[in-house]
Structure 1
């Protein structure tokens, strides 16, 4: 291969520069590098582009030159190429007329020079340079040429029919010689500056924009978006009618679900969920568990729902004592592993304490014995080298107790007989409803949001009057009610002690403190404004207020919403020991399984008892998901 004439005096050509800077370059690699520079001289717009094309290859040739040295050499060659390009009449050869590809296939004797846009390039299998770097250099050059081609693309004359292809390419001299000599063993067919278009010819700006838009839509699977959104919304409880409503028409709880649906629909690389089950019913939680089990990217979730974590989590990060500890597995595995780890740490601490005491006894015994002075010094140094183990910090144990100093009431103590209820003639909630409960009852009411669970509780409480039918309550029945909005209804500007004093006046302050202490609100917490307490602490204050009247029957509406896992466990244990009746509305599977013997499914204007308990209800929901195509 010959170099291009250098213009402008005695400036060295790029061939001379390569020969001078890389005297040990082999002939095949030399031909490749000069071929790249020769065929693409007019395309290089900066030294960076030359460096990207051949820099890695040249750096392999000489161990004495670093990256900056090679870049400086590329700068010299770029200066030479720019000067040569401006003074030389040589340029890329364009075809005089479009080539009909269909006509080319029958002529096997076409030479490479006849069709400048199509040629064959051999991969040099014998070079000592890293083949991967060589391929990367070729790929970068090809990408640059394709990008430039895209800007100058032309459209075919006839729409919807692929007839013509225009091509222009400066021939690669090295590859032509290798082809003629028969040395090529492996070929890549390359087509550069090759334009294909459909439709009428235009200026290329607006077809180009539409192509980009359609490409983006295809990338995000826009055609599937409505169906995917509908599946997510339906899974979270939105009916077909609700899916067409404006966002502003929904309550706060439903808007929380919308926010969750939006996060799921976006398919983020990292999905952050903060108590996602708080505003969901059991059906929606079960759907979410199934949906997240097939999630392809990372999920970081904060939740107090033990069963939800068992279904979704693969790792647990435990925050305590101002540090984080990680555990592999679900929540149940975390509990077991943590307990075992704590036992081991306690054993290690106790063993070290005994060892320290043993050494200290020796030191104290022979401290003033001259014959044992060296041994005493050795023991002292040993003590100093022992790692200092700290005693385990015991986590605050939460205890909840529901007083049960009351007489046994004869059943039925709470009953609804053939009750109809509606908020308006068009909005009927219950029809011919009959249910009953006594002091041995442990009932959980489940159902989708809007099915009437809270309405049923208010009818049982006597806060709502049936349109038809009878509510019967024992004359000595004393109900303690915890509403799902109980925390928000607390007086926020007073302390917890002052709150109880206003609700139950005339008692000593010590009694109020004792009552609050039973729910973990002790010391400074008891005299701080309620507004400054966390959500869980406010819930504990609400429990303390509810139980101070010592009711013999509890109706609890979503009591776990603001509670941590330890408090939920304490609540479940307390309800197990309570000797009165309990009716509970909850979405927390763990609490339901701990407390409830009976399950009422609310919906379709009535309440149905599920004899198989929560397991049967879960199976019913799973079957619904399969029929609806969610599984």
Structure 2
């Protein structure tokens, strides 16, 4: 077992742990949670030996094999399969022993080495590696492509596959879902449920934590507090504690009353559709953990839209894709990914967009946002339509050398006069005040964006969207860099938003809490998805199984 006894841990002058103790038993699946800066990653560094405690004792069985995801970006011409196979440290050691025994012509050593190589699973290692790679969303055609040919996010998926390939007794996962879409995430959950060793995971995805953990370790006020159960159980127990501690605080009661007001309003609005019932359950959860939400240090809300056109937009025979590349012959047709879409978005609709990786979800949203032009058909936008668009690449749009205040000045200047807030809101003090509501205050408003964390950049993008008072929100993976507290704040804000929402996300808690209906982007078209997210997970697992069987047939 892992035993931490009276541990002290400091980074610079900041005390992260002070006289903290906890015991983790073999085979337990532990979710490590706490506010940003509380010391979660530093505790990971203590567990993997890259950082030493400043006091107390940390005991981990010496015979335990440890695996974790390497954080460096791999640079190699090895194929994806070869790279992941090399994650199996035991197999690699057995192969080296065979090579050395053969070189020394030591036949007894060779016999033992060949036995060890067989025991390490050399005969099926490529197949095991390829099952991991395919599960994480790669295609069969990509199994033999060089690692260097993939983008950064896909290379990090290969690092994750490599960590899973390595036999281990202790698996440390720090934000393993960051580069995954929903189909890969569902597969990873299924894999981790079968993992036999001890696991400690940091994640900002509450449904992922619920699915794969049985213990929650909370880093709180420099202590380690252990809770039996997954993240939802931790939330409920934490809510009970906060209710007892803070029942007399007027501010707490005011926040809880505000939460209760919107919960009641949207529960009453929800239809009987299966998807809407998922949303009712999500709101009921918020009701139970209202003290936790109210205790959060960050909340925001969308301003009331200036108008609500109905319909927001309509698509007739629309096709989505990419125009021919520059330099291609004039008669080169565009690349069409999704075709013949006939859809209408009405005021107040809350649509979750589902689909396996590569089916065209982001392409659809980009085209509605006019970041791409439709390659066929017609999209008619309602009079007064004002889109707030958060794209997966939105953080790249920020100017790294500029600070938040400069971004807001530029936004105020470029926003059409009819859509701007009052003149005072566009002046420096008004913009400073608005940034303050998103936790950008004091020196932070003058800090270069390039030096900020991913979460801070995402918060700035949300701030800029809210300032524009949109009536249609197009959100493509808005939670990728957000911690649990900010995700909850976004969920509350979206539920209070009076406009329409189109949401692509692998955060199922957000989809459940916000969306009343789902569109499925699949096989070149868009259709209604009649089930809820539980049905969709079953569909994704069946698709993953089909891909693995297809790959096995081609090997």
Structure 1 segment 418-429 matched on structure 2, within 5 A? 418-419=318-319, 421-424=321-324, 425=333, 427-429=335-337
Corresponding residue number in structure 1 for 2:77: none
Corresponding residue number in structure 2 for 1:535: 454
- Kindly provide the CA deviation profile for residues 139-188 of structure 1, in whole angstroms up to 9, marking residues without a partner as x: xxxxxxxxxxxxxxxxxxxxxxxxxxxxxxxxxxxxxxxxxxxxxxxxxx
Corresponding residue number in structure 2 for 1:526: 445
Corresponding residue number in structure 2 for 1:336: 236
**Distance of aligned partners of 1:468 and 1:288 in 2 relative to their CA distance in 1, 3 Å threshold:** same
Q: In the alignment, which of 218, 226, 230 is matched to residue 318 of structure 1? A: 218
Rounded Cα–Cα distance in structure 2 between residues aligned with 1:249 and 1:532:
28
8 A Cα contact 2:387 2:471, kept in partner:
yes
8 A Cα contact 1:420 1:469, kept in partner:
no
Corresponding residue number in structure 2 for 1:504: 412
Rounded Cα–Cα distance in structure 2 between residues aligned with 1:397 and 1:204:
65
Aligned residue for 1:407, secondary structure, equals: coil
In the alignment, structure 1 segments of 5+ residues that lack a partner are 1-201, 350-391
Q: In the alignment, which of 116, 125, 128 is matched to residue 225 of structure 1? A: 125
Q: In the alignment, which of 454, 462, 468 is matched to residue 362 of structure 2? A: 454
Corresponding residue number in structure 2 for 1:199: none
Corresponding residue number in structure 1 for 2:394: 486
Does 2:503 match 1:564? no
How far is 1:259 from its partner?
A: 0.9
Corresponding residue number in structure 1 for 2:255: none
Rounded Cα–Cα distance in structure 2 between residues aligned with 1:396 and 1:569:
9
Rounded Cα–Cα distance in structure 2 between residues aligned with 1:629 and 1:454:
25
Aligned residue for 2:227, secondary structure, equals: strand
Structure 1 segment 379-458 matched on structure 2, within 5 A? 395-411=295-311, 413-419=313-319, 421-424=321-324, 425=333, 427-458=335-366
- Kindly provide the CA deviation profile for residues 342-371 of structure 1, in whole angstroms up to 9, marking residues without a partner as x: 44556899xxxxxxxxxxxxxxxxxxxxxx
**Distance of aligned partners of 1:497 and 1:284 in 2 relative to their CA distance in 1, 3 Å threshold:** same
8 A Cα contact 2:315 2:341, kept in partner:
no
Corresponding residue number in structure 2 for 1:207: 107
How far is 1:618 from its partner?
A: 2.1
Aligned residue for 2:348, secondary structure, equals: coil
How far is 1:448 from its partner?
A: 2.3
Range with bigger deviation, 616-625 or 330-339: 616-625
Q: Identify, as 1 or 2, the structure richer in strand.
A: 2
How far is 1:520 from its partner?
A: 2.5
8 A Cα contact 1:230 1:243, kept in partner:
yes
How far is 1:328 from its partner?
A: 1.7
Range with bigger deviation, 339-348 or 577-586: 339-348
State which structure, 1 or 2, has the greater radius of gyration over its C-alpha atoms.
1
For normalisation by structure 2, the TM-score amounts to: 0.65
Corresponding residue number in structure 1 for 2:4: none
Structure 1 segment 566-585 matched on structure 2, within 5 A? 566-585=485-504
Per chain length, whose mean CA-contact separation is higher, i.e. which structure has more relative contact order (CA < 8 Å, sep 6+)? 2
**Distance of aligned partners of 1:396 and 1:337 in 2 relative to their CA distance in 1, 3 Å threshold:** closer
Corresponding residue number in structure 1 for 2:30: none
8 A Cα contact 2:135 2:188, kept in partner:
yes
**Distance of aligned partners of 1:203 and 1:335 in 2 relative to their CA distance in 1, 3 Å threshold:** closer
**Distance of aligned partners of 1:259 and 1:208 in 2 relative to their CA distance in 1, 3 Å threshold:** same
Q: In the alignment, which of 603, 606, 609 is matched to residue 522 of structure 2? A: 603
Rounded Cα–Cα distance in structure 2 between residues aligned with 1:461 and 1:395:
35
In the alignment, structure 2 segments of 5+ residues that lack a partner are 1-101, 250-291, 325-332, 414-422, 550-555
Rounded Cα–Cα distance in structure 2 between residues aligned with 1:536 and 1:225:
38
Rounded Cα–Cα distance in structure 1 between residues aligned with 2:194 and 2:404:
45
**Distance of aligned partners of 1:260 and 1:573 in 2 relative to their CA distance in 1, 3 Å threshold:** same
Corresponding residue number in structure 2 for 1:593: 512
Aligned residue for 2:343, secondary structure, equals: strand
Corresponding residue number in structure 1 for 2:143: 243
For normalisation by structure 1, the TM-score amounts to: 0.57
Rounded Cα–Cα distance in structure 1 between residues aligned with 2:428 and 2:457:
19
How far is 1:237 from its partner?
A: 1.1
Aligned residue for 1:504, secondary structure, equals: helix
8 A Cα contact 1:413 1:439, kept in partner:
no
**Distance of aligned partners of 1:614 and 1:456 in 2 relative to their CA distance in 1, 3 Å threshold:** same
What number of residue pairs does the alignment pair up? 386
**Distance of aligned partners of 1:513 and 1:345 in 2 relative to their CA distance in 1, 3 Å threshold:** same
Instruction: State the Cα RMSD in Å.
Output: 2.8
Aligned residue for 1:525, secondary structure, equals: helix
- Kindly provide the CA deviation profile for residues 317-339 of structure 1, in whole angstroms up to 9, marking residues without a partner as x: 22233333222210011111222
Range with bigger deviation, 230-239 or 513-522: 513-522
Corresponding residue number in structure 1 for 2:71: none
- Kindly provide the CA deviation profile for residues 1-41 of structure 1, in whole angstroms up to 9, marking residues without a partner as x: xxxxxxxxxxxxxxxxxxxxxxxxxxxxxxxxxxxxxxxxx
How far is 1:431 from its partner?
A: 2.6
